[in-house]
Structure 1
Amino acid sequence: MGQLIMDTSFGKGCHLHLIDGSAFIFRAYHALPPLTRKSDGLPVGAVSGFVNMLFKQVEDNKGPDAPTHVAVIFDHSGKSFRHDIFPDYKANRPPAPEDLRPQFPLTRDATRAFNIACVEIENFEADDIIATLARQGREAGGRVTIISSDKDMMQLVGGGVEMLDAMKNKRIDNAGVEEKFGVGPERVIDVQALAGDSVDNVPGAPGIGIKTAALLINEYGDLDSLLARAEEIKQPKRRETLINFADQIRVSRDLVTLDQNMELDFTLDDLAVKDPEADALLGFLTEMEFRTISRRVADALGVEAPVIEEKVAASAEEAQQGAEEVPFDAEKYECVRDLPALQAWVERIYARGYVAVDTETTGLNEMRADLVGISLCVTPGEACYIPLTHRASASDDLFGSDALAEGQCGEREALAILKSVLEDPSVLKIGQNMKYDAKIFSRYGIEVAPIDDTMLMSYALNGGAHNHGMDLLSERYLGHAPIPIKPLLGSGKSAITFDKVAIDEATKYAAEDADITLRLWKQFKPQLHRSRVTTVYETLERPLVPVLKRMEMSGIKVDRDTLSRMSNAFAQKMAGLEAEIHELAGETFNVGSPAQLGDILFEKMGLSGGKKGKTGKYSTPADVLEDLATEHDLPGRVIDWRQLSKLKSTYTDSLQEHIHPDTGRVHTSYSIAGANTGRLASTDPNLQNIPVRTEEGRRIREAFVAPEGRVLLSLDYSQIELRILAHIADIPQLKQAFAEGQDIHAATASEMFGVPLDEMTPDVRRQAKAINFGVIYGISGFGLARNLRIPRAEAQGFIDRYFERFPGIKDYMDATVAFAKENGHVQTLFGRKIHTPEINARGPHAGFAKRAAINAPIQGTAADVIRRAMVRMEAAIADLPATMLLQVHDELIFEVDQDAIDATIARVRDVMESAADPAVHLDVPLVVDAGQGANWAEAH
């Protein structure tokens, strides 16, 4: 396997390999399905992957280019010296997954078992150790290969030092660095200092990304010259940023500069390649119970492979299945009625390291409901319920006493005991729709973290296949129908809240919820890896929970007087429209009655197109009225009346009821798993569907206001779905138009109709716009004809011409449908799977399923981009007096102090425009428009 080196002194002709061990570990963990040691259930999946990668590295590096010296360098778990420079360095990095932590020391053991130098130093990162060793190797006259793809180490390349991306087998030299950063290795630090790094929380210069940074450094030579001559820069924002943030940029330079002069207690000679000792290496592999790699290593060493006996009759997976097969028995659940019993459960939680938790409350509105009790589960079949505020009165007590029932833990004392474990970073809290429970706990002073969410796991695994409520998941995946809530609470006027439910009955229902949640988690967690959606869950789903929790709890201020005035104005306008409608009809009737309207239109006025439903009454949906509006004024007036009526009832009236009595704000709730494509859904109230195409609809946004001294900011992706379409379908004309910042609808019209851009008319542009957006949603000739109010044949001709001019779009559509039919799902650029269960159906659903499959990768990728931006946003604006309040599909709304407007816009725009990086490199730029105002209407 190895190559014995007799002369170990390092110098000319020697070749040093420096392996980034931490990168190997995380790559192994995320790339492979989970694996546990059969004898005791210890997680060893990352160790297995690490061993295989190390073995491949040894076996692939033989011959004249083989290393003469080698070391694997690891990050130490403690803080580095950079935290002294900048305390928030790496502050937004999530903790390591709980099943990875015990594997870190085992990877060190694996390195030593291969007889390879294993290096880690307290208070220093692996990058600094690698930098120091690389310098020493270069100065000694040898070659150095850094086995890593980490961009932070590209500053070391040159003068005999290169990098190797082992996964892609791609060498990174000076040209490779310039391709990545736009500058040579000697100026990488300057570019990084300007661009910052959201992953490591290096602040950089707000609003300046890699490309701009490279342009500036290439123009001015180096960072010091640039900062010294910042006054010369013509662009005002860029100039002000460099002047105002010069100190921050210099601190960033200190953070990204690798320390090449560490004091090491070993020399390069100590890193000489040595053959592994068969007993030590095979002994370690046997201990880990790695059968396959043991045989391969034994063959390479020319020795007999060890026999690894089964140490238990059942595998860890079978043991897990056995645990899940423990029958549900609600009678066995424990009711925790005193603090000593609760303390015993807390000790069980600490011993286990994770707990399924669920709350019972007096309602579904997390901002108004009161906590009634908490359920916990650490082992399938063993769960408890902790009653806190159940009432003494029976459920049928007409007088409704507020006295507490006996035999409950004191609320304050119980929460004080639970606070430590619910906030402990070493204990994983598992929930089903954990955002709800986290908001409840937050109102009681408990910030739950870290978390896992079975609803979001199901969403990552099965988006589009079914909904992700607990009852459905339990029946589908556990074969168990949960205890229903309705018999406990009743319905209608006689319904009660959960605090009136008898404690014994509440225990069975509530504890079962925690039991089900834990069993679902045990089943879903390993499937994330097998289905290759771990990254989707870990980067797009789970980290969004605390972000949305804080947004929802912040809420947005709504002016009740403005809404009230709008309601009155809408009522007056509706009355005027009713009078016009009655005059046109020649009689009075109830405009809000479809049946009466149908009689007027199709019986009295004799208009064509009337269809009666099963009740014998005429149907008057919007599309029928729109067609009739081309023939007569009355249907158009009814459309206007209906729109005003909906605005009044849905928004100006009902929004007033949603204003929280204590905060004076409206607190919407976002459903992360509500839409198949990854789009968030807003409920109670829905703030994403406020119509903006009519003047009245836009006016409703005037009621959403900023408090005195603050303003609302709106930052909105410009045409993000069209940009993603241009990238995915690889349309050169669209990509060029976006790259040059052209008006995309005018550019499309010019391409389709042969009209020069300087001769473009609004009408021609409007037609192109309708086609651009319509095609994304699979619009038909009939639908486009209705939108543009043109003959169907002409509309179909537009669509045909569109596909002729942009053939890549049709190719994309055909390929996407074919992929969906073969695989049962489509995917976003970030790996989100959107299942298409009806894609092979026949009949009316077939067309819809195809259109949905075509649109899903585009809309889903756009949804993923803004999710990534939201996850990064809090850390990016943490030092600014700014709060993220709302997400409306492609738009984010912030509340900001007056004097922080420009800084916030720059910071937010930078995060949003770079949100796809580094996971996906888009061929078109993402552009974000910004607006500000005292209310939402002014801001957007």
Structure 2
Amino acid sequence: MSADSSTPIKHLYLVDGYGYLFRAFFAMPSITRKDGTPTGAAYGFCNMLVKLLRESDADAMLVTFDASGPTFRNEIYPKYKANRDETPEDLIPQFPMVREAAAAFGLQSLELTGYEADDIIATVARQAVERGIQVTVVSSDKDLMQLVRPGVSMLDPMKNRPIGPDEVLEKFGVSPDKVVDVQSLAGDSTDNVPGVPGIGIKTAAQLIGEYGSLEALLERAAEIKQPKRRENLIAFAEQARISRRLVELTDAAPVEVEWGRLALHEPDPETLRAFLDKYEFRSLKARLAEQLEAGDLVPDEREPAKVGAVEASREDGAVPSPESSGPSYELVCDLESLDRWVAEAREAGLVAVDTETTGLDPMRDLMVGISLAIRPGRACYIPLRHGLLQHESDQLQLGEETQQAAPKQIAVADAIARLKPLLEAPSVLKVGQNIKFDMLVFAREGVWLHPIDDTMLLSYVLEGGAHGHGMDELANLHLGHTTIKFDEVTKQGRQRITFDQVPLDKALDYAAEDAEVTLRLHQALKPRLRVERLATVYETLDRPLVPVLAEMERCGIKVDRDILRRFSNDFAQRIEALEEQIYILAGKRFTIGSPKQLGEILFDEMGLETGRKTKGGAPGTGAEILQGLANQGHDLPARVLDWRQLSKLKSTYTDALQNQIHPETGRVHTTFSQAVASTGRLSSNDPNLQNIPIRTEEGRKIRTAFIAEKGCKLLSVDYSQIELRLTAHIAEVESLRQAFAEGQDIHAITASQVFGVPLAEMTPEVRRQAKAINFGIIYGISPFGLAQNLGIAQADAKAYIEAYFERYPGIRDYMESTKALAREQGYVTTLFGRRIHVPGIKDGNPARRNFSERAAINAPIQGTAADIIKRAMIRLPDALKEAGLGARMLLQVHDELLFEVAEAEMEETAALVKQVMEQAPQPAVTLDVPLVADVGIGDDWAAAH
């Protein structure tokens, strides 16, 4: 029962408020209110409070804060905390927010001038114990560990782990009552506590363990055998005593506690809603709405918080934990238990699904286990290949000799046979976090996962550009939950193990949590689509693209290893020749890849003019600076640029791609990511096939290694100048609209209208300048940037831009109105309704603010282009199938789609793809300019594009 002023307090939680805030600040993404005020740390603070209120068994709570200004410790030692970094700028406005938050949640808070929050905690803890009240200090701060004793324990809120005498002993090597002595010797660089030089925690613990106390040690310092240690203990004895006064918390601060007001009670719903609305904490408000209405934010019956794990060592299959101990995670090791879970999932009509594998490549790595969740707190893990795989080579295989030692598990074929009807049932929604990965893993086992929802994409549609969309970040942001990290169960570095080697109890906690957190995220995010009018974006663009991309990744693209090998050999010889040229020009041999050594050669020894400097103050040797020097006629920087280009092409592409050819398919299988670029563009990785350079002859050569299967050719269909066309439509520039409608050369038209050059007298150079302006303007290019691109004076570049805006005032109007809209609402939108958040639009730093303004200008244009090609990609598989054509879509590279097509079907396929791409915006959006898709055909990618 929640306590009130008339109910005796039994268990008091003392919360380290700023400890919460700082942990939230570094754990949470950068989030801002519409007016630009940073709120991410305060949001994380609120989530942590909610979690604490729901899961603790406290009947009273007090949140403590540090008061501003010096404390009594500064009088003892003026340098105390003098070397601390400046408070992060984004954190300063959030200090008052968390005080408001505590009040909004109905909690009492306390701060005291001249004292730290730790002193308040120490004092209140003493008073509470004297009253017979059990105390839990909610913090992971090591300084508070000195308070642990009978009646006082600690709780690490991030790890949800209790801290008692054993944990203190593990941390400091001594019991809690000796912590102050150890800290006095070791000091603390964070707080500028001096300690004794040369003595760390481990040595301090040994000394205190041997001599009993700091004072006894100092009195007998002459007995220490190690000369340096003995000298320091004698010389710095007074410093150690001062350090003790700094680290020891006082439990006699002048604190007056109104005990009755500390009792937990339900917060006032209207006060809490007003607070959540004020700081735009929409997800938290939605999550708490039902609890606020029911008045159960502070439940009557609560158990101590636990890390939702269960013991999983029994061999009888299902091992559920009691509901009262937190989430109920079950290890499923027999078919009877699995059948029960399948039946529950069918009845629920929705199941969260996650797979564990031996690695991160779904086309090569093996499925190790499957986790399912059907409601919050209810999840299971089905191990399949734990302890059954050989690790003698890169290619994992089933090892017969290991089967005897493997734990009891369901045979893979039997488990898949039971799960396949569920996972393919149209009546059961499958929810995943980055579910495309799981779809590919299941596909290799003969299961095609559908229908689907993806929490990563839900977050991306709702808050694209505002923060990242990984599970750990989303769990912190929306659930106030810190997930078990992968490194915690698989270790790191040389000790890293694959998931099939993880003990089942640890695998259960980690894997089941993944599915259960995914389910909770789905419940938090999915309802917001309708409320925020973003359902159409999710349901017509991002979600239906997932199976299309999965099929493209499964298909891959054929790569000729021999061509890559020849290029690697050629590049190696040319790199070696360039190195010799560079050494001759430099007059000595040096490490060309070392910016420091290169800078010394160029600027110290050769006396060339330095450009921008690095943060460390050294002269910069970036590509832009070297290109500037090369343009001045200096050979050495020009050759270094050539060396860098060839070295990157060799290491990143011609060498690396050979290793990325799949041994069974002979093809390269890239991964397309939907939730990385804020504008909605897809990104490609492992390998990145979107960044193969095509502006240089060497870069274009690499595309010749991407070939078609025998009897097929590659078909490339590329939108022509789509972003310029969209600019003409969105900015309502009539002259550009007309030029596109009439199929005129848009760059020549711009050159004619801006520079006054008649079309009949147009030169390639003038057209090139107009092209640079056309494309630069939509990216918010500055006069400096345009001058660099064109190699002209900055004043001339500025005049060109002004002339451009004078001729096309609609574009300037669009840019200014878009920036104003972004400042007002914090985001911009594409023509299809996608929101692209611009969190830095009100940044106090001019450089960051200007960057965000340029991003805001370009985002609706680039984002609309991305949406259009996605609409085409979603339509093409069915269109090809209906036409009886067998073309396979292989790659998407910005505005280009690449297909593998049987030679006999090429003409019909090319016409169909071109038609679908050009009509992709319709019927949702009708453009005022025509879209044009250019077709290219060839035996390899270079020939087709």
TM range (shorter): 0.5 to 0.7
Q: Within 5 A, what are the aligned runs for 1:209-608?
A: 329-331=308-310, 332-391=328-387, 402-403=402-403, 405-608=406-609
Residues 395, 500 of structure 1: 8 Å contact kept: no
When residues 582 and 624 of structure 1 are mapped into structure 2, their CA distance, relative to the original with a 3 A threshold, is: same
The whole-number CA distance in structure 2 between the counterparts of 1:600 and 1:449 is: 60
Range with bigger deviation, 568-577 or 777-786: 568-577
* 2:851 is the alignment partner of 1:848: yes
Range with bigger deviation, 446-455 or 636-645: 636-645
Residues 598, 610 of structure 1: 8 Å contact kept: no
Deviation at 1:640, TM superposition (A): 1.4
State the match for 1:715 in structure 2: 717
When residues 323 and 471 of structure 1 are mapped into structure 2, their CA distance, relative to the original with a 3 A threshold, is: farther
* 2:858 is the alignment partner of 1:862: no
* 2:632 is the alignment partner of 1:649: no
Range with bigger deviation, 533-542 or 611-620: 611-620
Q: Within 5 A, what are the aligned runs for 1:157-196?
A: none
The whole-number CA distance in structure 2 between the counterparts of 1:698 and 1:648 is: 13
| Alignment partner of 1:882 out of 882, 887, 906 | 887
Q: What is the SS of the residue equivalent to 1:713?
A: strand
The whole-number CA distance in structure 2 between the counterparts of 1:896 and 1:402 is: 45
Q: What is the SS of the residue equivalent to 1:581?
A: helix
Q: Within 5 A, what are the aligned runs for 1:651-800?
A: 651-800=653-802
The whole-number CA distance in structure 2 between the counterparts of 1:751 and 1:614 is: 43
When residues 321 and 589 of structure 1 are mapped into structure 2, their CA distance, relative to the original with a 3 A threshold, is: farther
Deviation at 1:833, TM superposition (A): 0.3
Unaligned runs of 5+ in 2: 1-288, 311-327
One-letter amino acid matched to 1:868: R
Q: Within 5 A, what are the aligned runs for 1:895-906?
A: 895-906=900-911
One-letter amino acid matched to 2:897: L
Indicate the RMSD between aligned Cα atoms, in angstroms: 2.3
When residues 805 and 402 of structure 1 are mapped into structure 2, their CA distance, relative to the original with a 3 A threshold, is: farther
The whole-number CA distance in structure 2 between the counterparts of 1:591 and 1:374 is: 49
When residues 317 and 564 of structure 1 are mapped into structure 2, their CA distance, relative to the original with a 3 A threshold, is: farther
Q: What is the SS of the residue equivalent to 1:372?
A: strand
State the match for 1:810 in structure 2: 812
Deviation at 1:320, TM superposition (A): 13
The whole-number CA distance in structure 1 between the counterparts of 2:784 and 2:750 is: 21
Question: What are the Cα deviations for residues 49-79 of structure 1, in whole angstroms up to 9, with x where unaligned?
Answer: xxxxxxxxxxxxxxxxxxxxxxxxxxxxxxx
Deviation at 1:755, TM superposition (A): 1.4
The whole-number CA distance in structure 2 between the counterparts of 1:392 and 1:717 is: 50
- Percent identical residues: 59
State the match for 2:68 in structure 1: none
Q: What is the SS of the residue equivalent to 2:677?
A: coil
Residues 610, 619 of structure 2: 8 Å contact kept: no
Deviation at 1:450, TM superposition (A): 0.3
When residues 895 and 406 of structure 1 are mapped into structure 2, their CA distance, relative to the original with a 3 A threshold, is: same
Deviation at 1:612, TM superposition (A): 5.6
Residues 395, 501 of structure 1: 8 Å contact kept: no
The whole-number CA distance in structure 1 between the counterparts of 2:587 and 2:422 is: 72
State the match for 1:938 in structure 2: 943
The whole-number CA distance in structure 2 between the counterparts of 1:800 and 1:483 is: 55
* 2:924 is the alignment partner of 1:922: no
The whole-number CA distance in structure 2 between the counterparts of 1:804 and 1:620 is: 38
The whole-number CA distance in structure 1 between the counterparts of 2:433 and 2:295 is: 20
Deviation at 1:759, TM superposition (A): 1.5
The whole-number CA distance in structure 1 between the counterparts of 2:806 and 2:679 is: 29
The whole-number CA distance in structure 2 between the counterparts of 1:741 and 1:431 is: 46
When residues 669 and 323 of structure 1 are mapped into structure 2, their CA distance, relative to the original with a 3 A threshold, is: farther
When residues 320 and 609 of structure 1 are mapped into structure 2, their CA distance, relative to the original with a 3 A threshold, is: farther
When residues 659 and 393 of structure 1 are mapped into structure 2, their CA distance, relative to the original with a 3 A threshold, is: closer
The whole-number CA distance in structure 2 between the counterparts of 1:505 and 1:691 is: 45
The whole-number CA distance in structure 1 between the counterparts of 2:294 and 2:912 is: 50
When residues 771 and 449 of structure 1 are mapped into structure 2, their CA distance, relative to the original with a 3 A threshold, is: same
One-letter amino acid matched to 1:341: S
Residues 394, 500 of structure 1: 8 Å contact kept: no
**TM-score when scaled to structure 2?**
0.64
Deviation at 1:593, TM superposition (A): 2.2
Question: What are the Cα deviations for residues 608-658 of structure 1, in whole angstroms up to 9, with x where unaligned?
Answer: 115664667543111111111122122112111111111111000101110
When residues 322 and 565 of structure 1 are mapped into structure 2, their CA distance, relative to the original with a 3 A threshold, is: farther
Deviation at 1:590, TM superposition (A): 2.6
The whole-number CA distance in structure 2 between the counterparts of 1:421 and 1:613 is: 57
State the match for 2:914 in structure 1: 909
Deviation at 1:575, TM superposition (A): 2.1
One-letter amino acid matched to 2:652: T
Range with bigger deviation, 540-549 or 625-634: 625-634
Deviation at 1:487, TM superposition (A): 1.8
Residues 389, 500 of structure 2: 8 Å contact kept: no
State the match for 1:828 in structure 2: 830
One-letter amino acid matched to 1:657: N
**TM-score when scaled to structure 1?**
0.65
The whole-number CA distance in structure 1 between the counterparts of 2:297 and 2:380 is: 21
Residues 323, 380 of structure 1: 8 Å contact kept: no
Q: What is the SS of the residue equivalent to 2:406?
A: coil
State the match for 1:247 in structure 2: none
Deviation at 1:722, TM superposition (A): 0.4
One-letter amino acid matched to 2:532: S
One-letter amino acid matched to 1:402: T
Deviation at 1:591, TM superposition (A): 2.1
When residues 613 and 728 of structure 1 are mapped into structure 2, their CA distance, relative to the original with a 3 A threshold, is: closer
Deviation at 1:714, TM superposition (A): 0.3
Residues 564, 654 of structure 2: 8 Å contact kept: yes
One-letter amino acid matched to 2:368: V
Deviation at 1:578, TM superposition (A): 2.2
Deviation at 1:530, TM superposition (A): 0.8
Deviation at 1:520, TM superposition (A): 0.6
Q: What is the SS of the residue equivalent to 2:703?
A: helix
Q: What is the SS of the residue equivalent to 2:372?
A: strand
The whole-number CA distance in structure 2 between the counterparts of 1:857 and 1:890 is: 15
When residues 550 and 736 of structure 1 are mapped into structure 2, their CA distance, relative to the original with a 3 A threshold, is: same
The whole-number CA distance in structure 1 between the counterparts of 2:372 and 2:891 is: 32
When residues 735 and 791 of structure 1 are mapped into structure 2, their CA distance, relative to the original with a 3 A threshold, is: same
Residues 610, 620 of structure 2: 8 Å contact kept: no
The whole-number CA distance in structure 1 between the counterparts of 2:862 and 2:596 is: 38
